[in-house]
């Protein structure tokens, strides 16, 4: 079993904030994979079930961001899990908007939600870092993360949520590369995806005249051929 945690702040006031992208990801995951209904447990909201071959518990702490560790720690202990069984999805200022990265263990980089989880369960849990970009100056960080995503950001945000949901089973099963591939297929599809293949010699454009076959090269004459020609010449 995996405990998959999305970080955010409870209440309609914060629902569309950049800081709540972890909640958004879990909501999409639960909807797409038929998990739920959400129940009040562990100082948070949980939905549980199976995503493919993986058994999971989704957790949205309702303690506010700075106390997220209280909810995560309580859930982890009750479910008899280790930090290695916990995956936390959170906003990441140091990644460009729409980018997604995985990390196992390490520091909290000043993120208050991660800082609280460190205090309650240690640092050995997994993280899914969801890029929201940086406002450019540290004094602008607080109002930036507590502001809603702009309308112009909705397309990449939806693509990212779809990709995370597509890769949810791989994430729960510990297959990081397959999870990231699922995200990338939504957020960065191949440049020529959906475009017709350029015509080639092997696959000519329909209706095009077939390429002319090269004329065969003259065969070199054998010695007997040359002697026969000379005999005919001097007759």
CATH number at residue 130: 3.40.50.1470
Residues 135-155: pLDDT tens digits? 999 999 999 999 999 999 999
H or E segment and range at residue 131: strand 126-131
Residue 223 in any domain: the answer is no
- DSSP state letters, 167-210: THHHHHTT-HHHHHHHHHHHHS--TTTTPPPPP-SSSPPTTPPP
Q: What residue numbers bound the domain in which 136 lies?
A: 2-187
Judge whether 45 lies within some domain.
Answer: yes
109 within some domain: yes
Asked if the structure places residue 117 within a domain, the reply is: yes
- Cα separation of the two ends of the chain: 100
Q: Is the peptide bond before 37 cis (omega within 30 degrees of 0)?
A: yes
The torsion defined by the Cα of 21, 99, 166 and 128, in degrees rounded to 10, comes to -60
pLDDT in tens, 215-235: 454 455 555 566 565 555 555
Domain assignment present for 134: yes
Count structural domains, the chain. 1
- What confidence tens digit (pLDDT) does each residue in 8-65 have? 999 999 999 999 999 999 999 999 999 989 999 999 999 999 999 999 999 999 999 9
Residue 203 annotated among the catalytic residues of the structure: no
Do the strands 126-131 and 86-92 form a parallel or antiparallel pair, or are they unpaired? parallel
Question: Quick check: is 127 in a domain?
Answer: yes
* Residue 158 falls inside a structural domain: yes
Does the residue 215 lie in any domain? no
**Can you give the pLDDT at residue 99?**
96
Select which of 19, 33, 90, 118 is catalytic: 19
């Amino acid at each position: 079993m995996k405990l998959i945690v999305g970080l955010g702040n409870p209440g309609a006031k914060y629902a569309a904030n950049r800081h709540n992208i972890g909640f958004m990801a879990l909501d999409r995951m639960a909807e797409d994979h038929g998990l739920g209904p959400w129940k009040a447990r562990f100082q948070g909201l949980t939905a549980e079930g199976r995503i493919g071959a993986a058994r999971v518990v989704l957790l949205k702490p309702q303690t506010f961001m700075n106390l997220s560790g209280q909810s995560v720690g309580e859930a982890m202990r009750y479910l008899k899990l280790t930090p290695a069984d916990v995956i936390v999805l959170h906003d990441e200022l140091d990644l460009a908007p729409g980018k997604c990265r995985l990390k196992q263990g390490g520091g909290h980089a000043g993120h208050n939600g991660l800082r609280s989880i460190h205090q309650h369960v240690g640092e050995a849990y997994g993280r899914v870092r969801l890029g929201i970009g940086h406002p450019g100056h540290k004094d602008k960080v607080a109002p930036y993360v507590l502001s809603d995503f702009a309308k112009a950001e909705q397309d990449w945000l939806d693509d990212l949520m779809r990709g995370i949901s597509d890769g949810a089973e791989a994430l729960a099963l510990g297959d990081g590369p397959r999870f990231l591939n699922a995200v990338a297929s939504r957020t960065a599809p191949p440049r020529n995806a959906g475009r017709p293949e350029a015509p080639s010699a092997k696959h000519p454009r329909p209706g095009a005249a077939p390429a002319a076959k090269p004329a065969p090269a003259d065969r070199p004459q054998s010695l007997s051929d040359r002697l026969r020609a000379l005999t005919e010449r001097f007759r």
